[in-house]
């Protein structure tokens, strides 16, 4: 991961609630979070569904746009003041010219597939308590970095249910 | 001009509009309602003026896109009137003052921070409409203007005009801030 982050030549600072990406934009950048936190969500008819978070030392990317080069529906918004390093698709493509780097990149992508699968199981898990338990076990740090209401949305439950589960 | 390029540019403008509005939301109400003199606008009045236009155009654009049976076209061509309107909105170096229609003038209305929330909601709506517009012709769909139902612009020109109008008044907000610092 360090090798990828080192490719960056640009740092961006965005304030709380400001957007890195909005619906309909083509954004092929990879973002490395230096400080702060972000959420990726979709929004239809004014109902938000958080898909992913990024906080200190995470990578966040609009993966659909990154892979296809096309517009994507994702919004990426800062939850608090956030500093990100920007790695462009071009920088990644240049990096992937070497065989060793391609092996490294493949392992990063494999890891991502596993994460996506965990997330898929989360969403398909019926019990709210079990959904909460899975995410807590996997990402205890998340509960330090991100306000409850966003985590509740991510877990597809009300903030009240989440705070009840946290106490029990 | 390529439709996709234009839409991308408008989407990026809209992202910046939202970010600017989020920044303004942190200001004190006394800053947001400050005005240089009795007839000039405050920051909130500028935004409310944009909201009044948004109420009209976003609804009109949405209706016309949803009714349309046209196909997407890769190339967009400006109409004579559309090009003129869109261009006239952009501030020149030496400011070209424009007259505001009475029903779009928010001068001395009672305004609060809800105006900023409404402005942001309209930008989200604009993003949705830009997205929907990818399925129709930006040339063949026609939008009624707020000036007269007889004057109609191409959808593509309307988007350009609408976004340029926001650029214009966000620059006015920059000037209000600058004037405030001098006091």
Q: CB-based burial of residue A66 (10 Å sphere; 0-12 exposed, 13-18 middle, 19+ buried)? A: middle
Measured between CB atoms, which of B11, B23, B130 is closest to A15? B23
Percent of the residues in chain B that have a pLDDT greater than 90, as a whole number = 72
Q: A8-20, pLDDT tens digit by residue?
A: 999 999 999 999 9
State the average pLDDT for chain A.
Answer: 95
Average pLDDT value for residue range B9-17? 98
Residue-level pLDDT at B85: 79
Give me A59's structure tokens.
């990578």
Instruction: Enumerate residues 6+ apart whose C-beta is below 8 A from B168.
Output: B89, B90, B91
Sign of CA dihedral A87, A88, A91, A92: positive
For chain B, how many helices (H) and strands (E)? 6, 2
Residue-level pLDDT at A93: 96
Residue-level pLDDT at A47: 86
Smallest Cα–Cα separation from B108: which of B45, B156, B158? B45
Asked if pLDDT for residue B50 goes beyond 70, the answer is yes
Shortest Cα distance, chain A CAs vs residue B121, angstroms:
9
Shortest Cα distance, chain B CAs vs residue A87, angstroms:
19
Residue-level pLDDT at B143: 93
C-alpha distances (whole Å) from A23 to each of A36, B15, B87, B127 are 22, 9, 26, 6
Sign of CA dihedral B1, B4, B5, B11: positive
- Helix ranges (H only) for chain A are 2-5, 63-68, 89-95, 99-124, 128-138, 142-145, 148-154, 159-167
The Cα–Cα gap between A140 and A133 comes to: 10
Residue-level pLDDT at B28: 96
Shortest Cα distance, chain A CAs vs residue B22, angstroms:
6
Q: What angle do CA A163, A48, A144 make, to 5 degrees?
A: 40
Question: Which is higher by pLDDT, A1 or A85?
Answer: A85
Asked if pLDDT for residue B96 goes beyond 70, the answer is no
> Best of A14, A22, A79 to disrupt the B interface by mutation (most B CBs within 10 Å)?
A22
Asked if pLDDT for residue A32 goes beyond 80, the answer is yes
Average pLDDT value for residue range A147-161? 96
pLDDT class of B56 with cuts at 50, 70, 90:
very high
The answer to whether B25 faces chain A, any CB pair under 8 Å, is yes
Shortest Cα distance, chain A CAs vs residue B31, angstroms:
19
Q: Do B23 and A73 touch (CB under 8 A)?
A: no
Residue-level pLDDT at B95: 60
pLDDT class of B99 with cuts at 50, 70, 90:
confident
Average pLDDT value for residue range A29-45? 94
Q: Do B14 and A22 touch (CB under 8 A)?
A: yes
Q: B161-183, pLDDT tens digit by residue?
A: 999 999 999 999 999 999 999 88
Asked if pLDDT for residue A74 goes beyond 90, the answer is yes
Average pLDDT value for residue range B112-141? 96
Residue-level pLDDT at B92: 67
Question: Which is higher by pLDDT, A111 or B97?
Answer: A111
Measured between CB atoms, which of A14, A17, A24 is closest to B11? A24
Interface confidence, given as ipTM, is 0.89
Asked if pLDDT for residue A45 goes beyond 80, the answer is no
Percent of the residues in chain A that have a pLDDT greater than 70, as a whole number = 99
Residue-level pLDDT at B93: 61
């Amino acid at each position: 991961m360090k090798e990828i982050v080192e490719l960056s030549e640009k740092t961006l600072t965005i304030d709380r609630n400001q957007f890195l990406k909005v619906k309909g934009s083509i954004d092929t950048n990879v973002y490395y979070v230096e400080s702060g936190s972000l959420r990726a969500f979709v929004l239809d008819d004014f109902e938000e569904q958080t898909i992913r978070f990024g906080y200190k030392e995470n990578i966040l990317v609009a993966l659909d746009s990154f892979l296809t080069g096309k517009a994507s529906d994702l919004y990426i918004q800062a939850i608090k003041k956030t500093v990100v390093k920007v790695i462009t698709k071009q920088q990644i493509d240049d990096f992937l010219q070497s065989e060793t780097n391609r092996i490294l990149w493949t392992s990063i992508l494999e890891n991502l597939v596993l994460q996506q699968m965990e997330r898929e199981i989360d969403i398909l898990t019926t019990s709210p308590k079990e959904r909460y338990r899975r995410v807590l076990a996997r990402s205890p740090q998340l509960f330090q970095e991100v306000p409850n209401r966003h985590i509740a949305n991510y877990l597809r439950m009300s903030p009240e249910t989440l705070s009840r589960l946290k106490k029990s | 001009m390529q439709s996709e390029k234009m839409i991308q540019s408008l989407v990026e403008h809209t992202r910046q509009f939202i970010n600017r509005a989020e920044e303004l939301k942190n200001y004190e109400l006394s800053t947001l309602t400050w005005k240089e003199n009795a007839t000039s606008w405050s920051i909130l009045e500028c935004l409310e003026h944009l909201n009044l236009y948004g109420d009209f155009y976003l609804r009109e654009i949405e209706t016309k896109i949803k009714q349309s049976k046209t196909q997407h076209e890769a190339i967009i061509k400006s109409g004579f009137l559309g090009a003129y309107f869109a261009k006239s909105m952009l501030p020149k170096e030496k400011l070209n003052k424009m007259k505001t229609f009475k029903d779009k003038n928010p001068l001395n209305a009672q305004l609060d921070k809800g105006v900023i929330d409404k402005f942001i909601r309209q930008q989200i709506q604009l993003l949705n409409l830009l997205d929907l517009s990818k399925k129709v012709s930006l040339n063949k769909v026609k939008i009624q203007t707020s000036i007269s139902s007889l004057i109609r612009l191409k959808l593509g020109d309307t988007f350009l005009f609408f976004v340029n109008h926001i650029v214009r008044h966000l620059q006015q907000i920059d000037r209000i801030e600058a004037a405030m610092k001098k006091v």
